[in-house]
Amino acid sequence: MAQSQFHLGWFLGNSYGVHGWLDQWGGGTARNWSDPSLQIDLARAIDRACFDFVLLEDSSFVPDNYGSSMDFYLKRASRAPKNDPLPLVPLMLQATKHVGIVPTISTSFYPPFLLARLMATLDLMSEGRVGCNFVTSTAERAAQNFGLTEHIEHHTRYEMADEFVEVVKQLWDSWEADAVVADEAGQMFADPGKVQPINFEGKFFSSRGPLNTARPAQGHPVLVQAGGSPQGRAFASKHMDVVMAAVSTVEEMKKFREDIRARAAANGRDPDSCKVVYQFLPIVAETDSQAQEILAARQAAKDPADILAAMGSIFDIDFSIYDLDAPLAELTTNGQQGTFQRFMAMGNTLREIADSFHFALDEVAGSPDTVAAQMQEMMEEAGGDGFLIAGDLNRRYVAEITDGLVPALQKRGLVRTGFSKTQFRENLLEF
Ligand SMILES: Cc1cc2nc3c(=O)[nH]c(=O)nc-3n(C[C@H](O)[C@H](O)[C@H](O)COP(=O)(O)O)c2cc1C
């Protein structure tokens, strides 16, 4: 079957943090890491290349897992320092015309009323171009920053997330779409009959409402989530417009998508209203052989400590205390569970795991047309609604994607060449 069009998103990991400060093409970020122009330039470039959205990752702690110390992370600018990404949203909106902007918020720590109001404001301000990535947050240290002694248990976090989204949706609905009449002759700005309290009383949250701003331009801003555990998938398939999958093979892509679609249908939803996008880190160069050389060099330079420190910070585990070559003990986590299962299944020792684990699809390398052809094949085989480009942020890589790969995809008719609609969700639902 011929592949229909798919969507493109950009996953901006470490969004308003430090990007490539030691890289040859980093653009002076060692000195200018807080200058938002790098992120604004990304937004402009992907807007021009007709991406549907950019997702701004976030976290709120300084890890101290590896070696039971912050040293590893602070020395490498890994997860800290990291500015709050919310102020990037209006800057990115102002620099662009179509691309949806999706900040991340934690359902475990953010008050639902504040979030509902913040997203309503951004959606009204942009006339319908924002979404929200709902995360439950995985780290004990993050929980302690918000006054807890230990983090909430994984399944309870998802129970809370479910209720969080419920109350936020009700707050957005507390103003009817036509509540603002701005009737100068009748001297009535908002119609009191169309604004109601919600009186939400839940197990974890309560809110009287109504919201003190009007209904968002899209009704509900676009809802986005990524969670690989059964609880994460249940949450995603119940509420979300976009589900992001971290998978590393075509088989996993297919399985993940089938599972989300079946769950969405079981929740009484049209599965096509729940878009599944795969995190994807392609290497694009002038020729296939150049791209393959870059991939080989990257693989040769892999240091197990990097991957173990990074993964340890999302599982809350200090992997430095284990012998790299000894059979690994049974471990458990209260952190990210979907990824943890995939990680632990990669081998018997930490070295085997670190050598063979891929967080996402990161082994595709070639000229723009070769990568485009592989993306087409992967989609034909697995099905899916789009790719979430997640490579390191520098202007050279952005150009390789937006000015090299995207035109090759467009030539094949695989991605859009323009927008016929103005709002983010309308664009997502176009195909
Ligand atoms: C593509 C992708 C993006 C994510 N972005 C964030 C993020 O910005 N902040 C965060 O705390 N967690 C983030 N996560 C983690 C998830 O939202 C979720 O909390 C995690 O996968 C745990 O889910 P699980 O236990 O259901 O597997 C992301 C995960 C993926 C796959």
Q: Report the distance separating Cα 217 and Cα 222, nearest Å.
A: 11
Please tell me the distance between residue 199's alpha carbon and the centre of ligand 1 in angstroms.
31
CB of 279 closer than 6 angstroms to any ligand 1 atom: yes
> Tell me, what's the pLDDT at 318?
95
Predicted confidence at residue 253, as pLDDT, reads 96
Mean pLDDT within 214-218 = 98
Per-residue confidence (pLDDT) for residue 265, from 0 to 100: 97
16: pLDDT strictly greater than 70: yes
Q: How confident is the model at residue 272 (pLDDT cuts 50, 70, 90)?
A: very high
Question: Could you read off the pLDDT of 218-239 as tens digits, one per residue?
Answer: 999 999 999 889 999 999 999 9
Cα(187) to ligand 1 centroid in Å equals: 48
Residue-wise pLDDT tens digits, 235-254: 999 999 999 999 999 999 99
Question: What percent of the chain is modeled with pLDDT above 70?
Answer: 99
- Flag whether pLDDT at 365 surpasses 80: yes
Q: What is the model's pLDDT at position 3? A: 57
Residue closest via CA to ligand 1's atom 29 equals: 226
Q: Establish whether residue 15 lines the binding site of ligand 1, counting it when its CB lies within 6 angstroms of any ligand atom.
A: no
Find out whether the beta carbon of 11 lies less than 6 Å from any atom of ligand 1: yes
Give the model's pLDDT for residue 329.
Answer: 86
Give percent above pLDDT 90 in the chain.
Answer: 95
Q: What is the mean pLDDT of residues 203-221?
A: 98
- pLDDT of 75 higher than 90: yes
Question: 3-state SS string over 268-336?
Answer: CCCHHHCEEEEEECCEECCCHHHHHHHHHHHHHCCCHHHHHHHHHHHHCCCHHHCCCCCECCCCCCCCC
Q: What is the mean pLDDT of residues 9-26?
A: 96
The model's confidence at residue 1, banded by pLDDT at 50, 70 and 90, is very low
- How many whole angstroms from 227 Cα to the centroid of ligand 1? 6
Contact 19, 394 (CB under 8 A): yes
Range list of β-strands (E), 116-265: 131-135, 180-183, 188-190, 200-201, 206-207, 222-225, 242-245
Mean pLDDT value of segment 339-349: 92
Question: Angle at which helices 288-300 and 368-382 pack, to 10 degrees?
Answer: 80
Provide the token pair at 7.
């969507």
State the average pLDDT over residues 320-345.
92
* H/E element, 366: strand 365-366
| Tokens at 431, concatenated | 């195909």
Cβ atoms within 10 Å of 374's Cβ, excluding its own: 17
**Has residue 161 got a pLDDT over 70?**
yes
pLDDT digits (tens, 9 = 90+) for 370-393: 999 999 999 999 998 999 999 999
Distance 256 CA to ligand 1 centre (A): 15
- Geometric angle at alpha carbon 361, from 305 and 28, rounded to 5°: 60
Average pLDDT of the residues of the chain: 96
Q: What is the pLDDT of residue 411?
A: 98
* CATH level 3 topology of 7-288+359-428: TIM Barrel (3.20.20)
User: pLDDT (tens digit, 9 = 90+) per residue, 120-159?
Assistant: 999 999 999 999 999 999 999 999 999 999 999 999 999 9
* Domain boundary assignment for the chain: 7-288+359-428, 290-356
